[in-house]
């Protein structure tokens, strides 16, 4: 059974003045299998962010369902959403979203503290994770004292520490230089190899080329997808670029 199943997801925004309707998602259908590493690509305005917000239970769709382990997250009550998000989902954001009032360690522990875990258990989870992600020496530092790449590693640690069913990453390399980007993508590969399911939204071809499957969204629908199969990252990169070129050309034809 897929971990995540999205069925006929539709989102229509009504503008505040004039009541004009804008369709962000027309009909999105896809599924993510356990242990999969999928990327969603699309241009600005294609509906990527709307889709991710709905998957993260930050926004409600107009119609359609999102099943996580067979449970429809669209119908979860408002008061349970925060706990649901904390226990089942992990997030990595473009701008890290670390709190400047907390040390790196406390930022990583935040979800566990919110879940009411004991300090002993927190420590038991934190140390091996920090070692795996190579940020053990940074734990006592504050966000303003470390580099962007290090911040994003801390954010990944925060996403992983609850042992989520799926990690949702929103443009995780968007604010990183190329060296830090490579390092983060290798980290994602490693984490995925250990069995973690990852769904990433990006418009970076390089980031997407690390995924096992890439879905392309255009005009609020899944337009195309490619599987990596046995191809190398470089071949995958080439396939994605070709598809994007095709998409861009097709887009102009449509217009």
Partner 1 sequence: MHNAGLYPKLAMQNIRNNRKFYLPYILALAGDAAAIYIMSALVKDPGVKNMVPGRPNAYAYVSVFMTMGMVIAFLFAAVFACYINGFLMKQRKKELGLYNILGMGKGHIAVVLAVETLFIGLLGIGGGIAAGVSLHKLVSLVLHQLLKMPVPFGFYISWGGMAQTAALFAALLGFTLLLNLNRVRVSKPIELLHGSAAGEREPKTRWVMTLLGILSLGWGYYIAVTTRTGMDAIVTYFLAVGLVILGTYCLFTAVSIAVLKMLRKNKAFYYKTGRFIGISGMLYRMKQNAVGLANICILCTMVMVMLSGTLSLYLGTADMVAEQYPGDVNIAVSYYPAPFADEDPKEWRLFDPNAMLAAQTGFMESQGFHVENVRTSYSLGFGTGKIAGGVYTTDRFNKAATGIVMMTVLTEDNYTATTGESLGLAPGEVAAYGVEGDELTLRWTVHQEGTELGESHFQIVKHLRRNPSFDPSIAELATIVVADDQAIYDIWARQAEAYPNDSSSMRWFAAVDVDASEDELAALQDRYYDAIEDSSFYEGTGSWARCTWNLRSEGEANAYGLAGGFLFLGIFLGFIFLLATVLMIYYKQISEGYEDKERFEIMQKVGLSHGQVKRSIHSQILMVFFLPIAVASIHILFDFNMVEKLLTMFYIHNTAITAVCTLGTVLVFFAVYGAVYLLTARTYYKIVER
Q: Which residues bind partner 1 (CB under 8 A)?
A: 56, 58, 78-79, 81-83, 85-86, 91, 93, 97-103, 106, 109-111, 113-116, 118-119, 122, 142, 144, 158
Q: Give the phi and the psi of residue 159 in degrees, each rounded to 5.
A: -70, -35
What are the Cα distances from residue 62, in Å, to 26, 31, 47, 183, 200?
A: 10, 19, 14, 38, 23
Q: Which is nearer to partner 1, 83 or 246 (CB)?
A: 83
Q: Distance between CA atoms of 164 and 189, rounded to whole angstroms?
A: 17
Rounded least distance, CB 144 to partner 1, Å: 4
Rounded least distance, CB 149 to partner 1, Å: 17
Q: Which is nearer to partner 1, 84 or 223 (CB)?
A: 84
Q: Which is nearer to partner 1, 22 or 113 (CB)?
A: 113
Order of all β-strands in the sheet with 63-68: 71-72, 63-68, 4-14, 21-32, 221-227, 213-218, 37-41, 197-202, 166-170, 89-92
Q: Which is nearer to partner 1, 92 or 222 (CB)?
A: 92
- What residues form DSSP beta bridges with 89? 166
- What residues form DSSP beta bridges with 200? 39, 169
Rounded least distance, CB 241 to partner 1, Å: 32
Rounded least distance, CB 27 to partner 1, Å: 27
Q: Which is nearer to partner 1, 142 or 223 (CB)?
A: 142
Rounded least distance, CB 210 to partner 1, Å: 24
Rounded least distance, CB 213 to partner 1, Å: 26
Q: Which is nearer to partner 1, 84 or 237 (CB)?
A: 84
User: What tokens does 134 get?
Assistant: 């190579």
Rounded least distance, CB 112 to partner 1, Å: 8
Q: Other C-beta atoms within 10 Å of 212: how many?
A: 17
User: What tokens does 73 get?
Assistant: 């997250």
Taking the C-alpha atoms of 53, 33, 8 and 169 in order, what is their torsion angle to the nearest 10 degrees?
Answer: 20
Q: Which is nearer to partner 1, 16 or 79 (CB)?
A: 79
What are the Cα distances from residue 117, in Å, to 1, 114, 121, 123?
A: 30, 8, 7, 10
């Amino acid at each position: 059974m897929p971990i995540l199943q999205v069925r006929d997801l539709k989102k229509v925004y009504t503008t505040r003045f004039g009541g004009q309707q804008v369709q962000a998602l027309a009909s999105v259908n896809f599924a993510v299998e356990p242990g999969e590493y999928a990327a969603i690509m699309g241009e600005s305005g294609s509906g990527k962010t709307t889709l991710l917000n709905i998957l993260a239970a930050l926004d409600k769709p107009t119609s359609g369902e999102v099943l996580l382990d067979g449970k429809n997250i669209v119908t979860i009550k408002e008061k349970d959403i925060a706990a649901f998000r904390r226990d089942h989902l992990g997030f990595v954001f473009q701008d890290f979203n670390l709190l400047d009032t907390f040390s790196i360690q406390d930022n990583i522990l935040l979800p566990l503290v919110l879940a009411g875990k004991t300090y002993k258990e927190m420590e038991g989870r934190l140390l091996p994770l920090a070692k795996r992600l190579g940020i053990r020496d940074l734990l006592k530092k504050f966000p303003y004292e470390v580099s962007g790449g290090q911040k994003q590693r801390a954010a990944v640690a925060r996403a992983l520490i609850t042992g989520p069913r799926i990690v949702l990453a929103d443009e995780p390399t968007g604010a990183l230089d190329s060296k830090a980007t490579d390092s983060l993508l290798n980290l994602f590969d490693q984490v995925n190899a250990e069995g973690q399911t990852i769904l990433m939204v990006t418009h970076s071809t390089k980031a997407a080329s690390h995924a096992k499957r890439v879905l392309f969204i255009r005009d609020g629908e899944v337009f195309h997808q490619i599987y990596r199969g046995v191809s190398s990252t470089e071949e995958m990169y080439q396939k994605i670029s070709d598809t994007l070129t095709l998409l861009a050309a097709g887009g102009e034809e449509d217009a």
